[in-house]
Chains A and B, each alone.
Chain A
């Protein structure tokens, strides 16, 4: 309380400085006049009385200065003087100061860049009403080598009916449909949701209305469209609400247009329409909305006011457990649920990755601060005489500390300003690197909060690197620097500088080791045999809508692939509903008569539906049996192909060919799942770049599953794959003008997109590690060079007394080696302690890879000793006669 009052008095005093100065002058002169009068009365002469009064009163100038400092927070005049003086000091050593500003600019720039991304991804709330009450609800299932959090509709309906925790609970899953009847057929991504999506999010449409509860009913087809589609396809026509449009051959009524900034889900900015879950209901018992075995949905909820995530989590777990008792056939493996904050669920591991990167970049700044601090220490040594002189002339210590802090602050702010420039330049480049591998990263930019952050870290760094030198030099004793020749020095006095170097080396080791692990992991990811050959492969997608192809799909695809294979430049072509290395996959259970289990506990594996020649096109080897062929039709014996991992997992030591299984995949509303004979075994392929092992997979022939849409076309070419794009588009258009071809990419591109996140993590961390290493080495060089300069006299004496030059050389190198060794030791310990944080992002290497660690230590040792080489040579070449004479 008393402190606050004092502060307030000072703040007020600051405002009234000038007036107070004047009245204080008056007070002092009155006091002096009274003193003088008293001495005159004792019989002194006027001159004597004046002198005695002054002696009695003390130093008027000092008092005024002290009074002024006590009165306000800062005195503009004094700070102005400090700043002017600081500027002169900066101008005096431009090279040294530029080195400091550059080091800081790199550190602050890197931090600001990373922070701009962290701000956009982690810190900004979701763009919905009361985002803190939004949660993701998952049906949690964990099996050997596989985990799933997707929900099935019947479970969702039960959750929605039974819970007490949520205001709204909404299911959603992505879809893509073809919009026809506009200028040209276009392929649109969209989302199938429950009716109350908009109330859940607290968003209202720009035009029209949201969905109504009855619009979830069988046969309803309504859509909300995005602002973008409204502009591009409907010319911003306000009468679009109520209009009927055709999506993949079905008539939908547009009920509303969403605002331009609306996005749902947050990581699907491309979504152009939203429709209700009525589209998943065909009225049969096999419909998605009725199938407790089809876990394909995500569920988002809005917590009731006052309900915590933990309470909701407990309630949903209880409901899931109840449902698993009620429906053992389907829910035995899905017997629990999980409620998690929506933002956290959206980000998943990415959050940890960003925090690791933020931590790494903070270390870089710390190293940069170390460098600047060391250079300031050097400068402080050079200025010892100046400080001693000023101190002797009456400057108090606080004044000197402040002077030095002002100078540090100026360097910090200059570095910060340059750092903002670096961030402006670097942020777009980093965003390109990230691509869409991090949700919301695209929103990042250097904005006001980010600049505020840059300012804050500039000030904080100034304190970090400025305080120690300021205090050290202000504490310095007065006499010795003033004495002649006081500059000579022996080893060991620059303890603070040495400690800083040791710390920098340690941090450098931690960063470089982390980068080394990510690089090792990335090389592993990029080089691992994926089981197929992604070169010269073009892939694209088009839809064959149920409205026209429900029964004729196999025929259509057979004709289409035949024509495709006939195009010049095409070596082979096939199709698959999922592409390897794209992190897609349906996990579907199957009945195995040799390993009977109750229905809810059937084994399951990733399933794919493919055309003939798909394996040939991807160069996936057929190891036993045969590929699918045109002879496999709906009427012919039902077959399947498994991969090697599947054969090993489910038929260990046996020949899987000829075995019969019944995958829970129906081939149409009227056809129940069929028993299938394993006709072939193919090599393993990686379904996702980040799979740690090859998953068991089975393949069904598209020709026997006419209800499954849509096959990705996969084309192996003898020419540049992308050069075939227009011919492929023309071919599809010639067969059906209402089918737009979409998502045209080479297989290499797809893998590149899949590796975007590991790649950007690797590139960023390597860049930071490189920066850290350079800063550390430069810092070490600086300290060694400085130490040699300071010891010139000592070295001269040694040489004059007959020390061999080689010994002097070794002495300097040994000093550097000791610093490096100490830093490396601490660094290794810190690395072993912190690297497990990276475990989730490492593939093909442990978190404590001795080869990486040894390599990093060798790198640091070699570059460090190189940095010490030059000063050591200079020390060796000291001319004793010159050294002894010069000081």
Chain B
């Protein structure tokens, strides 16, 4: 279903969005895209529209909430913030990700030795 051109690893965008919101506090979609761009040193080829798909998904899960505010342009924009449940989920997902990354690292190292 997901766009094949996306170079963001499948399933990781939700985690990135959650972490961004947890670290930076309430942000609008544009802001989130900027923070991720910065954090990745511009290495990530992010299709910014997909951020909104992730936001909707996270909101439906109840992990983030949104309310309307005013953007830098002085126009109406929707600001997203992480919920308590979302924070818990972030913790779980982070742990999970670290475990996966750890396993990957070990496996890859194995190959190099062989």
Closest residue of chain B to A70 (Cβ to Cβ) is: B56
Q: In A259-277, which residues have CB < 8 Å from any B CB?
A: none
CB <8 Å contact, A5 and B62:
yes
The CA of A638 and the CA of B73, in the complex, are separated in Å by 121
B-side contacts of A70, CB under 8 Å: 53, 56-57, 60
The CA of A63 and the CA of B28, in the complex, are separated in Å by 17
Q: Does A23 contact B (CB under 8 A)?
A: yes
14 contacts between A and B (CB under 8 A): A6-B60, A27-B28, A30-B73, A33-B73, A35-B30, A37-B73, A57-B47, A57-B48, A57-B49, A58-B47, A66-B53, A70-B56, A70-B60, A398-B1
* Cβ contacts B26-66/A at 8 Å (1 or 0 each): 00111001000000000000011110110011011110000
Closest residue of chain B to A30 (Cβ to Cβ) is: B77
The CA of A364 and the CA of B33, in the complex, are separated in Å by 58
Binding site for B on A (CB under 8 A): 2, 5-6, 9-10, 13, 23-24, 26-28, 30-31, 33-35, 37, 56-60, 62-63, 66-67, 70-71, 396, 398
The CA of A794 and the CA of B50, in the complex, are separated in Å by 49
CB <8 Å contact, B30 and A63:
no
The CA of A27 and the CA of B53, in the complex, are separated in Å by 12
Q: Does B106 contact A (CB under 8 A)?
A: no
Knowing A2-B61, A10-B60, A70-B56 touch, does A30 contact B50 (C-beta < 8 A)?
Answer: no
B-side contacts of A60, CB under 8 Å: 49
The CA of A866 and the CA of B52, in the complex, are separated in Å by 61
CB <8 Å contact, B75 and A33:
yes
Q: Does B112 contact A (CB under 8 A)?
A: no
Closest residue of chain B to A33 (Cβ to Cβ) is: B73
Binding site for A on B (CB under 8 A): 1, 3, 28-30, 33, 47-50, 52-53, 56-57, 59-62, 71-73, 75-78
CB <8 Å contact, B48 and A58:
yes
The CA of A515 and the CA of B35, in the complex, are separated in Å by 74
CB <8 Å contact, A27 and B60:
no
A-side contacts of B50, CB under 8 Å: 58, 63
CB <8 Å contact, B48 and A35:
yes
The CA of A806 and the CA of B3, in the complex, are separated in Å by 54
**In the assembled complex, how far is the CB of residue A887 from the closest CB belonging to chain B, in whole angstroms?**
33
Closest residue of chain B to A20 (Cβ to Cβ) is: B56
Q: Which residue of the partner chain, among B1, B29, B57, B61, contacts A31 with CB atoms under 8 Å?
A: B29
CB <8 Å contact, A27 and B49:
no
The CA of A34 and the CA of B3, in the complex, are separated in Å by 24
Knowing A35-B48, A59-B49 touch, does A13 contact B71 (C-beta < 8 A)?
Answer: no
B-side contacts of A59, CB under 8 Å: 49
The CA of A398 and the CA of B62, in the complex, are separated in Å by 26
Q: Which residue of the partner chain, among B1, B30, B52, B77, contacts A67 with CB atoms under 8 Å?
A: B52
- Apart from A26-B76, A58-B50, 4 more pairs, CB < 8 Å: A10-B60, A13-B60, A28-B52, A31-B30
**In the assembled complex, how far is the CB of residue B57 from the closest CB belonging to chain A, in whole angstroms?**
7
Closest residue of chain A to B60 (Cβ to Cβ) is: A9
Q: Which of A26, A66, A398 has the most CB of B within 10 A?
A: A66
B-side contacts of A57, CB under 8 Å: 47-49
**In the assembled complex, how far is the CB of residue B77 from the closest CB belonging to chain A, in whole angstroms?**
5
B-side contacts of A58, CB under 8 Å: 3, 47-50
A-side contacts of B49, CB under 8 Å: 28, 57-60, 62-63
**In the assembled complex, how far is the CB of residue A487 from the closest CB belonging to chain B, in whole angstroms?**
28
Knowing A5-B62, A30-B77 touch, does A24 contact B30 (C-beta < 8 A)?
Answer: no
CB <8 Å contact, B52 and A63:
yes
The CA of A35 and the CA of B30, in the complex, are separated in Å by 8
A-side contacts of B60, CB under 8 Å: 5-6, 9-10, 13, 70
The CA of A5 and the CA of B57, in the complex, are separated in Å by 11
A-side contacts of B47, CB under 8 Å: 57-58
B-side contacts of A37, CB under 8 Å: 73
**In the assembled complex, how far is the CB of residue B72 from the closest CB belonging to chain A, in whole angstroms?**
7
The CA of A396 and the CA of B3, in the complex, are separated in Å by 9
CB <8 Å contact, A31 and B56:
no
B-side contacts of A56, CB under 8 Å: 48
Q: Which residue of the partner chain, among B33, B72, B78, contacts A23 with CB atoms under 8 Å?
A: B78
**In the assembled complex, how far is the CB of residue B108 from the closest CB belonging to chain A, in whole angstroms?**
31
